[in-house]
């Protein structure tokens, strides 16, 4: 890591020295890494540094994927610098950030030290409810708020940013309906800010599994809260579990949302609209998967059933 970045870390934390720790993960497509940095001589024992370095090989003028990723890191930096959440939807505090040429650095509080040191690859109801509660409080906090400086429409699979995947799709009827589905979701009366990549891997749990914090805000932006909910549920359950568990988990999400929204919000109207959007949001993600990775395990009977339902609805309204 460059000397000036090390100096920034020392200065921001008032530390006397630092030691590079383990790499927590490498970033998608070789765009850098997330590392833990150990500190001496200050209150913090460690920080987490997201160090982005754009690969020299990327053709910056024509590569849509590269352009999307660069924008996503700018959005994430803006998010950490300008937005804050509440303890009910905990995120790491941003301690410093900078960008220089083809490099960017975001220095974050170490959530492991803050008590969120567990990662889960499979979860039960307790953990799923913790994440759904986080999402409900997050959506309530930003309900009706303009996503200034973020993606106008959040989520990494948003149709406008994924023309190649749409082109690659085989399902002709869903392909033809894709814009209509996107428009229906974007025209919801109740809009909020969505996390945009709310998969299980982006939640950090407390030892008990009851408390949770979220990371990775590259695709945070405007949208209907159901986009996060369906993506989260689909990231931790297979088709049989979805069929069995989704109704009760949705019930729980809406009860948490009702507790969290301002009292002047017409909650009955919000719940009615978003429940109607559940199948549309699920179908929207299914559309992306069909074009991106047709053999993906999430392309299952449950997804196909919801997609069929949505396409039938669209046919009958025309």
pLDDT digits (tens, 9 = 90+) for 283-306: 999 999 999 999 998 999 999 999
Least confident of 55-69, 217-231, 266-280: 55-69
Q: Which residue has the higher pLDDT, 117 or 65?
A: 117
pTM over 0.85: yes
pLDDT surpassing 80 at residue 162: yes
Quick check: 46 and 59 in contact, CB under 8 A? no
Distance from C-alpha of 20 to C-alpha of 196, rounded to nearest angstrom: 30
For a pLDDT cut of 70, what percent of the chain falls above it?
A: 98
Per-residue pLDDT band for 76 (boundaries 50, 70, 90) equals: very high
Q: How many CA atoms lie within 13 A of 210 on its CB side?
A: 1
In this prediction, residues 176-188 reach a mean pLDDT of: 98
pLDDT surpassing 70 at residue 59: no
pLDDT at 1: 84
For a pLDDT cut of 90, what percent of the chain falls above it?
A: 93
In this prediction, residues 219-227 reach a mean pLDDT of: 98
pLDDT at 58: 57
Per-residue pLDDT band for 187 (boundaries 50, 70, 90) equals: very high
pLDDT surpassing 80 at residue 62: no
Per-residue pLDDT band for 101 (boundaries 50, 70, 90) equals: confident
pLDDT digits (tens, 9 = 90+) for 231-251: 999 999 999 999 999 999 999
State residue 193 phi and psi, 5-degree precision. Answer: -105, 130
In this prediction, residues 92-114 reach a mean pLDDT of: 95
Instruction: Please report the domains of the chain, with CATH numbers, ordered by start residue.
Output: 3-109 (3.30.200.20), 125-316 (3.90.1200.10)
Distance from C-alpha of 115 to C-alpha of 93, rounded to nearest angstrom: 14
pLDDT surpassing 80 at residue 174: yes
Which is nearest to 22 in space by CA: 10, 13, 34, 12?
34
Residue 78 CB-density burial (10 A; 0-12 exposed, 13-18 middle, 19+ buried):
middle
Average pLDDT score over the chain: 95
pLDDT surpassing 70 at residue 254: yes
In this prediction, residues 132-141 reach a mean pLDDT of: 98
In this prediction, residues 167-175 reach a mean pLDDT of: 96
pLDDT at 57: 66
pLDDT surpassing 70 at residue 133: yes
């Amino acid at each position: 890591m460059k000397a000036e970045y090390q100096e920034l870390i020392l200065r921001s934390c008032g530390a006397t020295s630092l030691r590079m720790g383990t790499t927590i993960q490498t970033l998608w497509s070789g765009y850098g890494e997330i590392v833990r940095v150990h500190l001496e001589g200050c209150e913090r024992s460690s920080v987490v540094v997201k160090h982005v370095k754009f690969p020299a090989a990327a053709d910056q003028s024509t590569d849509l994927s590269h352009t999307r990723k660069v924008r996503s890191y700018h959005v994430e930096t803006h998010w950490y610098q300008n937005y804050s959440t509440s303890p009910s939807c905990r995120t790491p505090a941003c301690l410093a950030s900078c960008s220089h040429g083809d490099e960017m650095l975001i220095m974050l509080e170490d959530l492991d030290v803050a008590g969120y040191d567990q990662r889960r690859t499979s979860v039960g109801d307790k953990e799923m409810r913790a994440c759904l509660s986080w999402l409900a409080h997050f959506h309530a906090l930003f309900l009706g708020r303009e996503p200034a400086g973020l993606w106008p429409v959040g989520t990494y699979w948003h149709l406008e940013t994924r023309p190649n995947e749409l082109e690659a799709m085989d399902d002709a009827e869903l392909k033809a309906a894709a814009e209509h589905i996107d428009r229906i979701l974007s025209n919801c009366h109740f809009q909020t800010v969505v996390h945009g990549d709310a998969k299980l891997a982006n939640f950090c749990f407390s030892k008990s599994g009851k408390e949770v914090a979220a990371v990775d805000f590259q695709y945070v932006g405007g949208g209907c809260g159901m986009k996060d909910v369906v993506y989260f549920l689909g990231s931790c359950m297979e088709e049989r579990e979805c069929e069995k568990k989704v109704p009760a988990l949705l019930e729980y999400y809406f009860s948490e949302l009702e507790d969290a929204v301002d009292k002047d919000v017409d909650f009955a109207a919000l719940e009615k609209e978003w429940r109607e959007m559940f199948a549309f949001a699920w179908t929207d993600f299914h559309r992306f998967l069909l074009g991106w990775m047709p053999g993906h395990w999430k392309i299952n009977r449950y997804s196909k059933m919801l997609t069929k339902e949505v396409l039938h609805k669209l046919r009958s309204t025309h």
